[in-house]
Amino acid sequence: MTSDLLAPLDLAFWNIESAEHPMHLGALGVFACHSPTAGAHAADLLAARAAGVTGLRMRIRDVWMPGTRLARGLTDVRLPLAFGGAAREPALDFDPLDHVRLHAPTGDFHALAGRLMQRPLERGRPPWEAHVLPGEDGTSFAVLFKFHHALADGLRALTLAAAIMDPTELPPSRPRPVEARRGLFPDPRRLPGLLRDTLSDVVSDVGRALDIGASVALSTLGVRSSPALTAEPTGTRRTAGVVLDLDEVHRVRKTAGGTVNDVLIAVVAGALRRWLDERGDGSEGVAPRALIPVSRRRPRTASPQGNRLSGYLIRLPVDEADPLRRLRVVRAAMDRNKDAGPGRGAGAVALLADHVPALGHRLGGPLVSQAARLWFDILVTSVPLPSLGLRLGGSPLTEVFPLAPLARGQSLAVAVSTYRGRVHYGLVADAEAVPDLERFAAAVRRELDVLRTACDG
């Protein structure tokens, strides 16, 4: 195994982390079983299999690294070494037992998951953990996976977690194209074309950066969010999960139009309205900015580890009383974002990480983490899952709740996955700012019923 430098966005995630705001993502999977010892057996399997997964043995350390690229077209020519970078490298002292932990039986998987999600991962070791939570009734157990965002994005985390599940029959994958190795310097005959392309790229990048910056500035105008979404952080965490029928979502989509994702985002908007009104905060005039992450990973050809993310920024129509009109507003906003593409607009701020030198990420990380509340009010992200059933120790995975990091200055994050005909909402909140997270979860369940009824009417 060899080491590799963190991609710019990975480096940003590594440096904006603090003890109160850990930058790990998670997934809480619930497994059905027929024995009270199934959880302990699962923990043994996870530890044994983790030793054989290369990605789980990688730790992150600070390195001296090349500074800024001289030019995009001259990808192998760099400025002198500068401190501030980080790289993944094999941990020679890797012990799976440091990462897989078996807990005492519990009757509430989410209560324990919330407390575990608020604990940062140990940065000196490979930044991941698996917590096995046996159920008190002996008919189920849960596994909470935690992966630092610098180690893996949602797709990469899924790959790593699936590697320590029971073996499954997967369709054969196509071999990745092998790129020819480049020398230290490009062929002199190609220099004029490379320089011309590089200047064009620089001009394009500057234009993109100005466009993104202007869009971010405009997105802050007339913002009406709710103190419930932007309370002062306490560093505590609470999680909850909601399961909906995917067929019901498709019924709404076929009647009202749009995509499944449009419907799922509209459900969040309606649930926020109901939740704010029920708790007495009020939804009148509230239109919080939701960041919708978009993966820019190229299938089979992109780096398997580096984050490749952009995003769309939309105003959630929380103040709109009509459920179908809420869905139309969401659909129109998402269509505008898709027409512009993931490289433009306020949601594409993550792309600017590529143009910040390593030392800038190190020094500016704390400032960037403080700026999240100026950029968006709530995260609503979708994490794809395989359609085939997963098992661990023969126990089938019945539910899986993705759990997103909670940015500084924000009280609630929503992650959504579909798995075997059902939609799973994973909710993460600041435990003190949102002590009634279950009430919001109930509002999510209710909102799909409201949409379906409106469609039927």
Count CA atoms within 13 Å of residue 175 on its CB side. Answer: 3
In this prediction the pTM is 0.82
CA distance 81 to 78: 8
**Contact between residue 327 and residue 349 where contact means Cβ atoms under 8 Å apart:** no
Structure tokens at 309: 């993310």
Instruction: Please check whether residue 252 is in contact with residue 270, taking contact to mean a CB–CB distance below 8 angstroms.
Output: no
Please give the pLDDT value at position 297: 57
CA triple 437-440-446, angle to 5 deg: 145
Contact predicate 404/414, CB 8 Å: yes
Please give the pLDDT value at position 17.
86
The rounded distance, in Å, linking the Cα atoms of 418 and 267 is 15
Task: State how far Cα 151 lies from the chain centre.
Answer: 12
Question: Which pLDDT score, from 0 to 100, does residue 32 have?
Answer: 97
Beta bridge partners of 82: 65
* pLDDT on residue 111: 96
The strand pair at 422-429 and 238-245 is best described as antiparallel
Q: Which residues have a Cβ under 8 Å from the Cβ of 68 and sit 6 or more positions away?
A: 78, 79, 357
In this prediction, residue 190 carries a pLDDT of 54
Instruction: Tell me what pLDDT residue 1 has.
Output: 53
> Six-digit token pair at 177?
């194209």
Cα torsion 15, 18, 19, 22: sign: negative
Reduce the secondary structure of 314-381 to three states and give it as a string. Answer: EECCCCCCCHHHHHHHHHHHHHHHHHHCCCCCHHHHHHHHHHCCHHHHHHHHHHHHHCHHHHCCEEEE
* Confidence at residue 376, expressed as pLDDT on a 0 to 100 scale: 85
Positions in the chain short of pLDDT 50: 67-82, 170-186, 191, 194-195, 197-210, 212-217, 219, 221, 299-304, 346-356, 359, 361, 363
Two structure tokens written together for 271: 């649930």
Specify the amino acid at residue 185. F
SS (H, E, C) the chain: CCCEECCHHHHHHHHHCCCCCCCEEEEEEEEECCCCCHHHHHHHHHHHHHCCCHHHHEEEEEEEEECCECCCCCCCCECCEEEEEEEEEECCCCCHHHCEEECCCECCHHHHHHHHHCCCCCCCCCCEEEEEEEECCCCEEEEEEEEECCCCCHHHHHHHHHCCCCCCCCCCCCCCCCCCCCCCCCCHHHHHHHHHHHHHHHHHHHHHHHHHHHHHHHHCCCCCCCCCCCCCCCCCCEEEEEEEEHHHHHHHHHHHCCCHHHHHHHHHHHHHHHHHHHCCCCCCCCCCEEEEEEECCCCCCCCCCCCCEEEEEEECCCCCCCHHHHHHHHHHHHHHHHHHCCCCCHHHHHHHHHHCCHHHHHHHHHHHHHCHHHHCCEEEEECCCCCCCCEECCEEEEEEEEECCCCCCCCEEEEEEEECCEEEEEEEECCCCCCCHHHHHHHHHHHHHHHHHHHHC
294 sits in the region (left: phi over 0; alpha: psi -120 to 50; else beta) called: beta
Contact between 454 and 324 under an 8 Å Cβ cutoff? The reply is yes
Q: Are 39 and 141 in contact (CB under 8 A)?
A: yes
| pLDDT value of position 407 | 83
CA distance 8 to 417: 27
CA 296 – CA 263 distance, rounded (Å): 22
Tens of pLDDT, residue by residue over 149-200, are 888 888 888 889 999 999 875 444 444 444 444 444 445 555 455 445 444 4
CB atoms within 10 A of CB 171: 6
How far, in Å, are 37, 196, 241 from residue 138 at the CA level?
8, 66, 21
